[in-house]
Amino acid sequence: MKATFLGHAAVYLEASNTKILIDPFLTGNPKAAAKAEELEPDFIVLTHGHGDHIGDALPIAKRTGATIISTYELACWLGDQGAKSSPQNHGGWCKYPFGAVKFTQAIHSSSVTDENGRPIYLGNPAGAIIVVDQKVVFHAGDTALFSDMKLIGDDVAIDLAFLPIGEHFVMGPKDAAKAVEFLHPKVVVPIHYATFPPLVGDPKEFARLSEGKGARVVILQPGESVDI
């Protein structure tokens, strides 16, 4: 399976029989390595409702017929706007033709603002465990460090993890390195840094702090891929 980092928190998984797009913030993303119209996913997984994660999910889903997989409120909200959606919630596995998805806890928030600047609540944020081609991918979404990450690592053997390291809104390198210790993935890719000025987390510092924790740290530039 090929996993391509598209910038910020966007990831494109290309498996043997399916393509899965995660948090496709492309339009308006200064680090984006692809345009929305260039991608042909079968499924779109969203971790939470912020614009830098929902991104282009709705127009891509309408154009391609891709199913949006997300937590209940967010999936229903996008379904009401014309997307094909599969609402889930935290803790339970849901089977799909490619494998399965389970949403985990994330410590963050999840909303968009309406035309008057008022927040629209879109359910709890999440991380996503995606099983495809007998590989386990964990995308943590936006989150702070929390000790129950140990339970995620105990539940599944993670082949590839995507962890935010940017500071300010999410974990920084120090906390993300602790998350590696809790999750013990085989390979970990830092995400959600350097897109905007507040996201100051340094991937090289993250790699240094993660040494000896059992994971291979792969720092990808937008557009680069890792095979698992």
What is the model's pTM? 0.98
| pLDDT (0 to 100) of residue 9 | 98
pLDDT digits (tens, 9 = 90+) for 183-223: 999 999 999 999 999 999 999 999 999 999 999 999 999 99
**Rounded distance between C-alpha atoms, residue 135 and residue 228, angstroms:** 8
Is residue 226 one of the residues assigned to a domain? Answer: no
Is residue 227 one of the residues assigned to a domain? Answer: no
The whole domain housing 8 covers: 2-221
**CA distances, 224 to each of 79, 93, 125, 221 (Å):** 31, 30, 27, 6
Is residue 44 one of the residues assigned to a domain? Answer: yes
Q: What is the CATH number of the domain that holds 188?
A: 3.60.15.10
- Domain count across the chain: 1
| pLDDT (0 to 100) of residue 17 | 95
Is residue 15 one of the residues assigned to a domain? Answer: yes
Tokens encoding 139: 């995308």
pLDDT digits (tens, 9 = 90+) for 167-193: 999 999 999 999 999 999 999 999 999
What mean pLDDT value characterizes the chain?
A: 98
pLDDT digits (tens, 9 = 90+) for 127-154: 999 999 999 999 999 999 999 999 999 9
Provide the pLDDT confidence category of residue 49 given band limits of 50, 70 and 90: very high
Is residue 114 one of the residues assigned to a domain? Answer: yes
| pLDDT (0 to 100) of residue 16 | 95
Is residue 123 one of the residues assigned to a domain? Answer: yes
**Rounded distance between C-alpha atoms, residue 10 and residue 162, angstroms:** 10
Is residue 115 one of the residues assigned to a domain? Answer: yes
Is residue 17 one of the residues assigned to a domain? Answer: yes
Tokens encoding 202: 């340094």
